[in-house]
Amino acid sequence: MKEKQIATIKRILTYIRQYRFWVAASLCLAVITVATTLYAPILVGEGVDLIVDRGLVDFEGLFAVLKKVAAVIAVTGLSQWLMNHINNKITYRVVKDIRTRAFDRLEVLPLKYVDSHRHGDIISRIIADIDQFSEGLLMGFTQLFTGVMTILGTLGFMIAVNPFITAVVVLLTPVSLFVAGFIAKRTFSMFSLQSRTRGELTSLVDEMLGNQKVVQAFGQEKAVQERFEEINSRLNSCSLKAIFFSSITNPATRFVNGLVYAAVGVAGAFAAVRGALSVGQLSVFLTYANQYTKPFNEISGVVTELQNALASAARVFELIDEEAIPEEASDARVLTDAQGEVELEHVQFSYDPQVSLIEDLNLSVKPGQRIAIVGPTGCGKSTVINLLMRFYDVDSGSIRVDGTDIRSITRKSLRRSYGMVLQETWLKSGTIRENIAYGKPDATEEEIIAAAKQSHAHSFIKRMPQGYDTVISEDGGNLSQGQKQLLCITRVMLCLPPMLILDEATSSIDTRTEIKIQQAFARMMEGRTSFIVAHRLSTIKEADRILVMKDGHIIEQGTHEELLEKDGFYAKLYNSQFAPA
């Protein structure tokens, strides 16, 4: 655990290093703040010594001391304000850098990472954990520097006044350090558990918000509530333990501070009686004793916050350290004007090495052909699409486009050569126009409207309050499922790439509109290689070739009529949909 903390601290320092000028400025201001703060008690002590007795007060000297005190307080206030401003700048720039790095890493992580981790936990790492880290880092900068310097400065001033009483203070100091260290060792693991549990809770809330209709439709509100309460109860328990141990620090160190203050008071009183100290110097020592012990309270609080910050930072760094998608070769081909010739040769792939899925898959597609892929759920239809788009790479074998292995083609150019419409629609928060032009941001108004008319989305868009400028909520929450799918189809029709992938592209559209869209698709697919995944077999009768998949293998292929004549698996699928009741 300690090695992990040290590694995390080193990582944090690498982010802080680029702001070393501001760190140096903060340290200088901390020195000024501490020096002026420690000089003020000396002036107060001088003032006390000028008040000897009733009628024996040196008002002139006292007035001069008060002017110095006012100047010292002004310098202290200004330097402290500047130091806090710089510390804020350092902290939030570091936080910005780490959050940007984390999101950049998320953009290049393989899809299998996103598929295998709870989305809410990923969100928690990028948002909540970094916020926790920033709070600890800010407290560290603000209080750790000044705390350490106050301790060292106070010791120097006290030694200059009376070494004997200083020795009393120093001898009691290890007790405070022992208490703070004892507690700090036990808080890191508790704060780590707190961060993980908070991520679990965020994940559940994110999942339930996105699927509230399904939860209510199946009457699972009570079950979800119970699951939430169970996780929330665990979060409550581990948070209480973490806070309990961390909260012991302050009263424990305050107790030690009280011992130090009492010891200084007693030793100073005896010294004053012997004439070794003046009354003013005794007041200075008592003030210093309080100032010397106060940073231990602050530092112990900082240590507690830093434990939380380090636990949160470690989770963020875990995300940043995840293995990214392998970089493309420097000589990777940029695919332009793709002809649409696609070949799969001896392809093997599995999401889980223990569970086989696609084995020895072979396929040759000529430019402009329409290939339909059918089969039972889980047979590998959508997996083939994932492999064609290089969302996943094959375990063995190869996929070639225009004679080039797609692993030797840049991902961006490969994916630009495909237009993809999925059963699961995705729309971003923004205007309808922005969503349609997502794949072609420089599209003209005329091009956008023409694409919308082709997909039969234009009529419903014009009925919206602001037409194409209507702002839709996240994932198109204020649109019907069919309308969302029409916008996704429009998005592809605007780009008109050389190859198309239609994965249940019309599953949420009414039959009448579907017929019109199928006609638009037919026009769009002319001269373009197209892969069509469908459960409704009526939509693929016109395909040039139909691939029938089962258990990751192509078990039949041919035209619609040829497959019906074979009276095999496809014929059974087709007849099960269209056989008379």
Residues 6+ apart with CB under 8 A from 524: 454, 492, 493, 496, 500
574 pLDDT higher than 60? yes
Is pLDDT at 199 greater than 90 in this prediction?
Answer: no
Tens of pLDDT, residue by residue over 486-537, are 888 888 888 888 888 888 766 666 777 677 777 777 777 778 888 888 766 6
Based on the number of CB atoms within 10 Å of its own CB, is 530 exposed (0-12), middle (13-18) or buried (19 or more)? buried
pLDDT at 577: 65
Averaged pLDDT score across all residues of the chain: 80
Residue 126 corresponds to which tokens in the numbers above?
């990028």
% of the chain with per-residue pLDDT over 90: 1
CA–CA separation, 345 vs 350, rounded Å?
16
Averaged pLDDT for residues 100-121? 83
Q: What is the mean pLDDT of residues 457-482?
A: 81
> pLDDT, tens digit, for every residue of 46-85?
777 777 655 576 777 778 888 888 998 999 899 989 988 8
The pLDDT score that the predictor gives to residue 74 is: 92
The predicted structure's pLDDT at residue 301: 65
Pick the CATH number of 369-381+418-578 from 3.30.70.100, 3.30.365.10, 3.30.1280.10, 3.40.50.300: 3.40.50.300
Closest CA to 489 of 511, 475, 508: 508
- CB-CB neighbours of 267 under 10 Å: 21
* Window from 197-201, 277-281, 479-483, 566-570 with minimum mean pLDDT: 277-281
Structure tokens at 106: 């998320």
Domain with CATH 1.20.1560.10 in the chain: 2-196+247-320
Whether this prediction's pTM lies above 0.75 is answered by no
Looking at the domain covering 2-196+247-320, what would its CATH class be?
mainly alpha
The answer to whether the beta carbons of residues 383 and 349 sit under 8 Å apart is yes
The answer to whether the beta carbons of residues 9 and 310 sit under 8 Å apart is yes
Report residue 581's pLDDT band, with 50, 70 and 90 as the boundaries. very low
Quick: pLDDT tens for 13-41. 888 888 888 888 888 888 888 888 878 87
Contact between 499 and 468 (Cβ < 8 Å): no
pLDDT for the residue 185:
66
Residue 141: what pLDDT? Answer: 67
pLDDT (tens digit, 9 = 90+) per residue, 357-388? 888 888 888 888 888 888 887 777 888 888 88
Q: For the residues 545-552, what does the mean pLDDT come to?
A: 82
Q: What distance lies between CA 540 and its chain's CA centroid?
A: 42
Element spanning 245, H or E: helix 221-274
Q: Does residue 538 have a pLDDT over 70?
A: no
Q: How many CB atoms lie within 10 A of CB 404?
A: 17
pLDDT above 70: residue 177: no
Of 180 and 420, the structure prediction assigns the larger pLDDT to 420
pLDDT digit string, tens, across residues 409-464: 888 888 888 888 877 777 888 888 988 888 888 888 999 999 888 888 888 888 88
Average pLDDT over residues 399-406: 89
Amino acid at 221: E
Q: Is 421 helix (H, G, I), strand (E, B) or coil?
A: strand
Q: How far apart are the first and last CA of the chain?
A: 67
Question: Could you tell me where in the chain the CATH 3.40.50.300 domains are found?
Answer: 369-381+418-578
User: 24 vs 284, which has greater pLDDT?
Assistant: 24
Strands 545-550 and 370-374: parallel
CA distance 13 to 7: 10
* Tokens coding 38: 């420690």
Distance CA 179, CA 250 (A): 10
**Maximum alpha-carbon separation in the chain:** 124
Q: Please tell me the predicted confidence (pLDDT) of residue 519.
A: 72
